Structure 1
């Protein structure tokens, strides 16, 4: 039953039919107090059926004007409602004259439209109910998207925390710092401690629900990569190609982490000679394009994901977060890098922080 009401198409037909059935019932009850013949119920039924048919096209017209400017949408609504009301009035008068008055015809053709005002108010009421229900459904849909995005963000944060608090990760990092101390490279060891502290602070205290400027995400990714660079030394090469116009673009918090982590795990750590990780970003029209590529051994891709689920959890989670935040206005594509390796491309709408948001 819940699935039935969640289907907006089915719900429309149910409410649409019930609404016109209710109109027919109320109209017939009203006729009982006017001492009309019982045959009047046929006229009422035909009137309701004509209204049921004529308002169906309004649904598709209103879908087209839904995103118009308010004044254009209101003006179009009134014009459409008036046009449908006029046509419906002709049908109603014809039914009444033909069935109830046995073929009566008026002297003037203008009498065909003599009850247009009544019809206009009925169609206007139908239109108001349609927009009211559609607006309510849109609010519920946006609320659901917000809740989904929040859940995915918290899920990403929990996975990040699990990784950061992984004893193996901390052991490798602290062991590298200890080695630097034994080698009397205290300055480098101190820098490593600062990077580790900043990295953990960013991950622990940055709200994953909010979008942040790309430069902040790059800063966090760089902290992580610099920590890993101590482990891999010259085996890890990091290349950045960031368009200046993309620095302030808003991106989901922690969106780069699973991509960089996969590149380290599957492209750098698996090769004796190490590898390169390339992070690029640029503004392209109204979109922001982000690319994370490596020159590792690559993977066999199945349905856009690595075969066997390698890196699949982080990638699936990232795709679901993007879907929750941007609906269908995004893309996440995995391709083979040339001449070797794997490349992840993300396209999202280009957004920047407004003055109001900054002041808030």
Structure 2
């Protein structure tokens, strides 16, 4: 990594570099602009002293503006304007002291408006500093959003690859095809044909659907029903599925195939290990501006450490969390907890979008 890349990737180094270069440039431009006025060392000293005072006084603005950006727009504007005026006023006083006490050796004019003019000039300079600061911050925010979008795209494709590995694993296909073969041997041709049709539709959705785009929960539930109908042929009465989907959730947008790994997880680690079978409960509801999704089973459960399942060959949980983080940054929740009286419950909270 080059030094320039290290500079722009570190906010601290970038700030102090631009801050120092900016005030050095101010001193240079000020000196060039007043070259005909005075070239004595004392005048150069005054310019450097004023630039250093400006450098020092504008440092606190960085931390004030950082806090102001977290407030409401109106409050942010008030804080920014007042902060700029106070800093400009203090800087104007410092410049007046430097000019009249050091450069003029104590001589002061009687015209008060010269002091006011100096304040206006200081305010313009501080305003330029503020505009540059917010301009750079907004540019960084835009770049970060582009990076997040690119990361989300990359993570979605990676998640899609993992998803296909899970969905098209030999065990799933073998069990499904074996069930179809058994149905054919038992002359249950209608059921076998329906199962082949469901498997075809499910695989087509898995392969053709773009993992970057979000789909309606209603469409996602439709595909999940296909998947569970395929699994029900294997487990027969041992698999009981309870749906609790609020009507207003059907149009909510969710990442494609976000719930299927959770259901597969429940079937693999809960239903298949229970002699008399078990139940999977799937619910969806809205709460304020959020969509709450819930997948629970009544299986034997598992050990949970730090909010993660502690067992080997878990399917898709890390995948799901990575996708949610890439798509929603911090505006989501993903938790794994013990179900009552037994089993595992996985809860998801994402923004409600239609």
Q: Structure 2 length as normaliser, TM-score?
A: 0.90
Q: Distance in 1 between matches of 2:311 and 2:174?
A: 29
Q: Distance in 2 between matches of 1:10 and 1:141?
A: 18
Which residue matches 1:102? 105
* Residue 125 of structure 2 corresponds to residue 122 of structure 1: yes
For residue 183 of structure 1, the aligned residue among 183, 186, 206 is: 186
Q: Distance in 2 between matches of 1:261 and 1:17?
A: 57
Once the two structures are overlaid, the 10-residue window that deviates more, 2-11 or 155-164, is 2-11
Could you list the per-position Cα deviations for residues 217-274 of structure 1 after superposition, in whole angstroms to 9, with x for gaps in the alignment?
2122221111111111111111111122222111111211221121111111222222
* Residue 196 of structure 2 corresponds to residue 209 of structure 1: no
* Residue 293 of structure 2 corresponds to residue 290 of structure 1: yes
Matches within 5 A, 1:1-360: 1=3, 2-3=5-6, 5-64=8-67, 66=69, 80-311=83-314, 314-352=316-354
Gaps of 5+ in 2: none
Could you list the per-position Cα deviations for residues 268-306 of structure 1 after superposition, in whole angstroms to 9, with x for gaps in the alignment?
122222221111111011111111111111111112111
Whether contact under 8 Å (1:90, 1:113) holds in the other structure is no
The alpha carbon displacement at 1:340 in A equals: 0.7
**RMSD after superposition:** 2.4
Q: Distance in 1 between matches of 2:150 and 2:161?
A: 16
Whether contact under 8 Å (1:156, 1:254) holds in the other structure is no
SS of 1:273's partner is coil
Q: Distance in 1 between matches of 2:333 and 2:312?
A: 20
Q: Distance in 2 between matches of 1:225 and 1:284?
A: 27
SS of 2:251's partner is coil
Once the two structures are overlaid, the 10-residue window that deviates more, 173-182 or 337-346, is 173-182
Whether contact under 8 Å (1:334, 1:344) holds in the other structure is yes
Q: Structure 1 length as normaliser, TM-score?
A: 0.89
Whether contact under 8 Å (1:152, 1:317) holds in the other structure is no
Return closer, same or farther for 1:9/1:351 CA change in 2, 3 Å cut-off. Answer: farther
SS of 1:27's partner is helix
Q: Distance in 2 between matches of 1:323 and 1:81?
A: 37
SS of 1:318's partner is helix
Q: Distance in 2 between matches of 1:222 and 1:53?
A: 65
Whether contact under 8 Å (1:335, 1:342) holds in the other structure is yes
Q: Distance in 2 between matches of 1:258 and 1:53?
A: 56
Q: Distance in 2 between matches of 1:167 and 1:341?
A: 26
Q: Distance in 1 between matches of 2:61 and 2:41?
A: 32
SS of 1:344's partner is strand
The alpha carbon displacement at 1:97 in A equals: 1.0
Q: Distance in 1 between matches of 2:223 and 2:16?
A: 51
The alpha carbon displacement at 1:137 in A equals: 0.8
